[in-house]
């Protein structure tokens, strides 16, 4: 897929966007791009990022069209309150960017022991999964609820419709080079992308995911110098933000997973289906197609009751 073609005259006036993890890094670049196009932007991030959020807001072209609402996305009650407050204050939500994420601080599968010499519970891994997967699920569920009940988009720009954009990673499609919790959680985000399509389509809401490779943020600071010295492709937060906003605002983009690795921008979900037969075999592809048609006919998987 060629690099995303953006509408240089993008007009998001009167639209409202919510960006999680919006105080720094890729999220801050997304906030800036949306605000520059005229959108009102709600920055959702931890209370500890309030100073960064205020600095960001003061630097925006339209600082009066941005607000910081603190929340931990892994906390359902906190995030639900923020979504409700956003709807109450602005009357609508049009775009939700589930950007917030984190990475483990130590190798998850290496043995570490407590003071009694017992193998330690991988609590740092739980934290990563809580933020990256549980937090993304919370954001997705709340976004679907609020977007489907919002009034039609007020913008006059063509090719714009409401959407949810999940931040996956190339680690959601490939090996994560030893980042076990991060890689597992980002594979889960890709699962959210795929499993949400049917429900979102009922309400004409588009759900896409962006899968950035190495991007110059806090998460990559430990290897940035060596990576650049090796001559490998590097993303800037602004470059990733451009793709995010292009995909989020283009009514033709739905169900996509877009890899962003410097000059390489590729759509992965449609191309995955195109090579499925070569991967699992044409016979298995045909069987899986029939199985999918079966579930569609009966209205989806019949969920088991509690035990």
> For 263-289, what is the mean pLDDT?
94
> For 80-95, what is the mean pLDDT?
97
Q: Count CA within 13 A, CB hemisphere, residue 8.
A: 0
End-to-end CA gap in the chain: 47
The percent of residues above 70 in pLDDT, for the chain, comes to: 95
* Radius of gyration in angstroms for the set of CA atoms belonging to the chain, rounded to a whole number: 20
Q: Is the pLDDT of residue 60 over 90?
A: yes
Cα–Cα distance between 6 and 243 in angstroms, integer? Answer: 8
Give residue limits of the domains in the chain.
Answer: 16-262, 275-306
Closest by CA to 40, choosing from 14, 8, 21, is 14
- In the residue annotation, 182 being an active-site residue is answered as yes
How do residues 284-297 score in pLDDT, each as one tens digit?
999 999 999 999 99
Token representation of residue 292: 């999918």
Closest by CA to 92, choosing from 194, 18, 9, is 18
182, 252, 285, 297: the active-site residue: 182
How do residues 7-17 score in pLDDT, each as one tens digit?
567 999 999 99
Distances (CA, A) of 82 to 43, 66, 233, 280, 286: 10, 14, 37, 43, 45
Cα–Cα distance between 102 and 218 in angstroms, integer? Answer: 9
3-state secondary structure of 65: helix
Q: Torsion-angle region of residue 53: left (phi > 0), alpha (psi -120 to 50) or beta?
A: alpha
Residue with tokens 């959702």: 44
Residue with tokens 């130590």: 106
- In the residue annotation, 301 being an active-site residue is answered as no
186, 202, 252, 301: the active-site residue: 186
More confident residue, 141 or 3: 141
Q: What angle do CA 295, 281, 187 make, to 5 degrees?
A: 65
Looking at residue 161, its pLDDT comes to 85
Homologous superfamily assigned to 16-262: NAD(P)-binding Rossmann-like Domain (3.40.50.720)
Q: Is the pLDDT of residue 300 over 80?
A: yes
Looking at residue 5, its pLDDT comes to 44
């Amino acid at each position: 897929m060629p690099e995303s073609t953006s509408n240089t005259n993008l007009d998001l006036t009167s639209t409202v966007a919510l960006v999680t993890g919006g105080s720094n890094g890729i999220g801050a670049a997304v906030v800036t791009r949306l605000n520059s196009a005229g959108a009102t932007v709600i920055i959702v991030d931890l209370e500890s990022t309030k100073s960064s959020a205020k600095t960001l807001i003061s630097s925006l072209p339209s600082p009066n069209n941005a607000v910081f609402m603190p929340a931990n996305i892994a906390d359902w009650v906190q995030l639900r309150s923020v979504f409700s407050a956003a709807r109450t204050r602005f009357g609508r939500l049009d775009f939700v960017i589930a950007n917030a994420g984190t990475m483990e601080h130590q190798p998850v599968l290496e043995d570490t022991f407590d003071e009694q010499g017992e193998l330690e519970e991988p609590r740092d891994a739980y934290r990563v999964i809580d933020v990256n997967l549980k937090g993304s699920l919370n954001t997705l569920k709340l976004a679907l609820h609020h977007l489907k009940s919002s009034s039609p988009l007020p913008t006059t720009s063509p090719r714009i419709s409401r959407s949810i954009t999940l931040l996956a990673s190339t680690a959601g499609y490939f090996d994560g080079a030893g980042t076990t919790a991060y890689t597992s959680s980002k594979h889960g985000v890709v699962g959210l992308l795929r499993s949400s399509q049917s429900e979102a389509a009922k309400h004409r809401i588009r759900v896409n995911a962006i899968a950035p490779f190495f991007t110059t943020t806090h998460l990559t600071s430990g290897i940035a110098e060596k990576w650049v010295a090796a001559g490998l492709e590097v993303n800037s937060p602004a470059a990733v933000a451009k793709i995010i906003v292009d995909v989020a605002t283009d009514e033709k983009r739905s169900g996509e997973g877009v890899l962003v690795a410097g000059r390489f921008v590729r759509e992965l979900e449609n191309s995955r289906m195109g090579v499925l037969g070569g991967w699992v075999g044409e016979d298995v592809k045909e069987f899986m197609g029939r199985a999918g048609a079966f579930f569609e006919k009966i209205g989806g998987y019949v969920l088991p009751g509690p035990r």
